[in-house]
Amino acid sequence: MHSFDAITGGWDAVCGASGVHETLRLSAFRTVRRLPGPTAPPAHVVRYRCGCGDDHELLMSSVELDWAPIRSTFGEHFDLMTGRMAEDPDQGVELWWRSMRRGHWPVTLHCAHHRAPVPAWPSCLRALEPDDERAVSHLLVHYVCPLCDRQGTQVMRPQALELVPRLQ
């Protein structure tokens, strides 16, 4: 299980070359391949660009990909009332719920077949091609639209792929 850390904004991943723990952000994903077969929840092979400069692969379930960022976000926080660290498992879900009501989903797609932005999830992505692997300013993102199942492509900045709720 690759846990998601709300503070660093990524999943915990271990570099296969150095053994160092890395934070895997969505913008470091390069391909997402859903494994064939009736696995429930579906399993995906994620190839990503590691801090060591090589690409590695991870096996991730849809729960890890799509739900872990929402479930874990700010689950642990500093409670001003008690002056201690507190854990509220519903806190992240609540923040994301408010964010999504304002139109900020974990991933926002602009499918040509819908007029409104499409609420989407990390598992909707298929491939991310950065303009410059050493200094990424934008990525060509290939996805499968969750509403119409068609493939699409759009240009996104790395900031648009940060898995943080936006309350403004």
- The binding site for Zn ion (CB under 5 A) comprises 15, 17, 50, 52, 111, 113, 145, 147-148
Name the residue nearer to Zn ion (CB basis): 45 or 52.
Answer: 52
Which two three-digit tokens encode residue 122? Answer: 């990390």
Output the smallest distance, CB 2 to Zn ion, in A: 14
**Phi and psi angles of residue 62, each rounded to the nearest 5 degrees, phi first:** -60, -30
CA distances in angstroms from 74 to 43, 154, 164, listed in the order given: 26, 30, 10
Output the smallest distance, CB 153 to Zn ion, in A: 12
Output the smallest distance, CB 53 to Zn ion, in A: 7
Residue from 92, 32, 16 nearest 65 by CA: 32
Name the residue nearer to Zn ion (CB basis): 58 or 145.
Answer: 145
Name the residue nearer to Zn ion (CB basis): 46 or 145.
Answer: 145
Q: Cβ neighbours of residue 47 under 8 Å, at least 6 residues apart?
A: 29, 30, 31, 33, 55, 56, 57
Name the residue nearer to Zn ion (CB basis): 60 or 145.
Answer: 145
Output the smallest distance, CB 28 to Zn ion, in A: 11
For 12, the 3-state DSSP assignment is: strand
